[in-house]
Amino acid sequence: RGTKATVGLRSPNRWTLSFSPTEGQPKSAPSVTLFPPSNEELSANKATLVCLISDFYPSGLTVAWKADGTPVTQGVETTKPSKQSNNKYAASSYLSLSPNQWKSRSRFTCQVTHEGTSVETTKPSKQSNNKYAASSYVNLSPDQWKSRSSYTCQVTHEGSTVEKTVVPTECS
C-alpha cells in the first residue's frame, strides 16, 4: 500500500498537488532456472550457461555467478528486467566460457538476490558414483524465516515430483 501524488497546473502560476492511496502489487520471489551449454554449442567450441529468472516483482535484483564456489565476473552479461504479461518481471544472465573452462569445473552457480533474499541454483554435477547432484538454496533473514508457517522444496525429475517441507517453529 502506498501513496500516489498527482501534480496539476491550474493556471499559469498555480499548481495543485493531491494525494491518493494506491494498491501496490504484492512482492513475488523469482523463479530461477540454470541451463548448461548445449552439445551443439560445445561442438562449435563455445560454452554459455543461461540463468533464466522469471515471475519476480518488483524489478530490482542482482545476479552473481560462481565456479566451484569462487565468484566469476568475466564473461557475464545480464539483461535488464522486462515486464511479462502477468505484470511481473523476467531477466536472463549469461556466463560465456571456453569448453575447457566448462569441463575443468564441477559446479557452476547462479545466485539471484531479490528484495534482500538470495536464491542459488547450481548446475547438476556428476558425482563419483556416476549419478548427478543438484542443489538450490534460499537465504533468509531471521525475520523472514519466522514470517511464514512453512517452507516447501519441490523437485521434479523424470516426471516424478518429491516435496519436503520444513516448519520454522519445529526447528531449534
Beta-bridged to residue 41, according to DSSP, are none
As a 3-state breakdown, the chain gives helix, strand, coil percent values, each rounded to 5, of 10, 55, 35
Note the pLDDT tens digit of each residue in 71-89. Answer: 999 999 999 999 999 999 9
Residue 18 within any structural domain of the chain = no
Residue 16 within any structural domain of the chain = no
Residue 120 within any structural domain of the chain = yes
For all residues of the chain together, what is the average pLDDT?
Answer: 82
Residue 80 within any structural domain of the chain = yes
The grid cell for 87 is 505484470
**CATH number for the domain including 89?**
2.60.40.10
Note the pLDDT tens digit of each residue in 96-122. Answer: 999 899 888 888 999 999 998 888 877
Domain of residue 39 covers 31-124
Residue 140 within any structural domain of the chain = no
Number of domains in the chain: 1
Residue 166 within any structural domain of the chain = no
Residue 81 within any structural domain of the chain = yes
Residue 62 within any structural domain of the chain = yes
